[in-house]
Structure formats: C-alpha cells, structure tokens
C-alpha cells in the first residue's frame, strides 16, 4: 500500500410582577459558561423590555439571538406544551444565527422587566472567526440541547406531524451549519491532529471506512524524556517539537489512516495495512523519522527520540483492548532504553 501525506452577577434583577413557579430544569441546561456569557454579551446590543412585552411570536422569521442579563423571559410553544421560563445568563433564539431566516418554534414574552443582549448575524460571524473554540463548544452544546428538546416535542406533537417535520428539517439544517464547529471540537489546537473526541468518532465510523483486504494496526508513539526538552529549552520549544512530530506522523499516514494526539506527548496512528510485516516496517520508520527531525537554531542540537509500541487490532475487540496491547509493547520499548519499537505478540 502506498503511504502519502495527508450586567454582572451582582446586577439587580427586576422584581417580577407575578412570578410563576420555576419550570422544570431541562435535560441539558441553557446556562452560559463564564466565557460564553462574556463573549456573547460583548457581541450583543443592549435592550430593555417591560413585563408583558412580546419579543417575537411563534412562526415569525428570526434574525437574532437573545442573552438574558436580568429578569425572566417565558417561551410559549402552544399546542398544549408547557411554558418554559428562562432567567439571567440563559439564551434563546439561537437557531436564527445557526441557520438564518428560521421560523420561530415558540413565542417569547418578557415575564418581568428584562435587560437583554441582542446578538445579530454579523456579530456572531465575527465571533466564529475570532473565537472558534468557545463558539464550537457553545454551538455543539446548543445543538445537543435542541435535539433533547425535540425528543420531548415529539412526545407532545404526535397529532401534529406537519409541525414536527418542519422542526426536524430545521435541525437538519442546523447540523449542516455545525459541521465546521464540530470539526474544531475534534481537532487538537496545538498540532492540528485529531484529538480524543475525533478518535472516538473515527472509531464509530471505522466499519464504514474499512479498506477491503487490509488489517487494522495501532501504533502508540511516546517521547523519550520529553520533560527534559521543556526544562532545558522552555515550553514554547516543547510545543514546536510536538508540532514537528505531528507533521512527521501525518506524512507517514496513508489517506485511510488516522494520526492523532492522545494528549501530552503521546500520539497514536491507526493504520490499515495489507500485511502484518508492514506494521513492523512502519514502526521502525516512525522511530527513524523522529530521530532525523532537524530544527533551526537555537534548537539545532536537539535530537528527538521516541518509543513506539504497535499491535495488530482484532476486528471483534474494542479500543481499550487495542490500546492495552499496544501500550504493553510500548512499555517494552521504553524498558529497552527507548528510541526503539516493539510489536505486541499475538496470542
């Protein structure tokens, strides 16, 4: 097989005119994290509304998302569905930003006097470009909440199939818009490799991506004495070394393989190989390639040394078994002094 590169918490809350009982907490909370609240609040424009004022009605085309600073807002879904009450640091109307020109699935009314932040599409697009990590986390969690909400909606709208189909279509559009955010969530910020989340997604999809006539193999790649690099040259130099190693691992991977960073100075490479002997060859090439990495001054005297543990992966076993076998081989390579590789002996 050819292998090529690939207001604040202290703000006064307006006294409610007639506070309804607290709505039951949703399965996935709509409470913003500190970072999300600061980011979205800064991107929005301030809006004060009086108790009873209608923010939007069900069925209207939405173009804004709202963040509550003070007061309470109630969402009215109609069709016998329970009213939801939202309070400070909670948000609503986000589908208008995720998919654009979205028909509101509920009406929103100020239950008390409220201080709001209104986030429009242009400001949200800027956040996507400048703060992708925070926005990816926010959008992914929002989508999960929407899915959970729609599951509840299905139970209440069995008589209203037409409304249900419209809602599900909106969710499908949202899922398409979230593809970029999900990719960011599955990528390691430092090296650009797939991270553990991406690895688990890859494993779920692997049965549909298998190359006919190949076997699965796993290589665990671990630095020898990486702490010494950080201690001697600093963490920025350590980051540069990690990126260089990630680049080498990527170049050794075939398009059907998955190079990833498991965390710290530990990398993994899941491969689809035509012959078990290819696993040994690849493990040796990894050790040699890392040892041959060159760096510009002042790191020009630095030599990277790694240990590699490899194992063939049984199709009927799961990731934990594969990892344990490769990790056992990695320990053997470390025990032999490092800068070497070892293959797990199959039973």
- Number of residues in the chain: 347
The candidate with the shortest Cα–Cα distance to 323, out of 231, 232, 273, 260, is 260
For every residue of 23-71, DSSP letters joined together read: PPPPSS--BPPHHHHHHHHHHSEEEEE-TT-EEE-TTPEE-EEEEEEES
> From the candidates 125, 239, 265, 318, which is the catalytic residue?
265
Pairing state between β 306-313 and 341-343: parallel
Pairing state between β 266-273 and 258-263: antiparallel
**What distance lies between CA 181 and its chain's CA centroid?**
7
For every residue of 88-143, DSSP letters joined together read: TTBEE-THHHHTSSEEPSSEEEESS-EEEEEEEHHHHHHHHHH-HHHHHHHHHHHH
Active-site residue, 265 included: yes
SS3 for 72?
A: coil
Q: For residues 25 and 22, what is the distance between their CA atoms, to the nearest angstrom? A: 8
**Bond before 298 cis per omega within 30 degrees:** yes
Q: For residues 103 and 148, what is the distance between their CA atoms, to the nearest angstrom? A: 19
Indicate which residues carry an active-site annotation.
Answer: 265
């Amino acid at each position: 097989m050819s292998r090529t590169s690939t207001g604040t918490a202290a703000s006064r809350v307006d006294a409610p005119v007639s506070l309804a009982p607290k709505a039951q907490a949703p399965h996935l909370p709509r409470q913003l994290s500190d970072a999300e609240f600061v980011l979205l609040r800064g991107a929005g424009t301030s809006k004060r509304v009086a108790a009873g004022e209608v923010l939007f009605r069900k069925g209207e085309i939405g173009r804004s998302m709202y963040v509550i600073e003070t007061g309470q807002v109630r969402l009215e879904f109609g069709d016998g569905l329970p009213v939801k009450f939202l309070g400070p640091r909670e948000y609503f109307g986000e589908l208008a930003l995720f998919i654009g020109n979205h028909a509101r699935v509920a009406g929103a009314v100020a239950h008390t006097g409220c201080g709001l932040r209104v986030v429009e599409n242009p400001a949200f697009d800027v956040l996507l470009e400048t703060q992708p990590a925070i926005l990816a986390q926010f959008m992914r969690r929002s989508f999960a909440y929407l899915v959970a909400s729609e599951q509840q909606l299905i139970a209440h709208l069995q008589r209203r199939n037409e409304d249900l189909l419209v809602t599900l279509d909106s969710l499908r559009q949202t899922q398409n818009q979230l593809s970029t955010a999900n990719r960011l969530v599955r990528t390691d910020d430092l090296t650009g490799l797939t991270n553990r989340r991406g690895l688990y997604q890859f494993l779920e999809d692997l049965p549909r991506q298998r190359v006919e006539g190949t076997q699965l193999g796993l290589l665990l790649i671990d630095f020898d004495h990486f702490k010494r690099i950080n201690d001697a040259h600093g963490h920025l130099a350590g980051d540069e070394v990690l990126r260089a190693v990630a680049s080498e691992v990527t170049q050794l991977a075939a398009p059907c393989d998955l190079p990833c960073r498991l965390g710290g100075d530990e990398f993994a490479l899941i491969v689809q190989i035509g012959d078990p002997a290819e696993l040994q060859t690849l493990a040796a090439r990894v050790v040699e390639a890392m040892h041959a990495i060159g760096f510009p001054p002042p790191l020009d005297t630095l030599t990277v040394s790694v240990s590699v543990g490899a194992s063939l992966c049984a199709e009927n076993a799961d990731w934990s078994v594969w990892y344990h076998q490769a990790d056992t081989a990695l320990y053997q390579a470390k025990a032999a002094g490092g800068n070497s590789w070892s293959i797990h002996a199959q039973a």
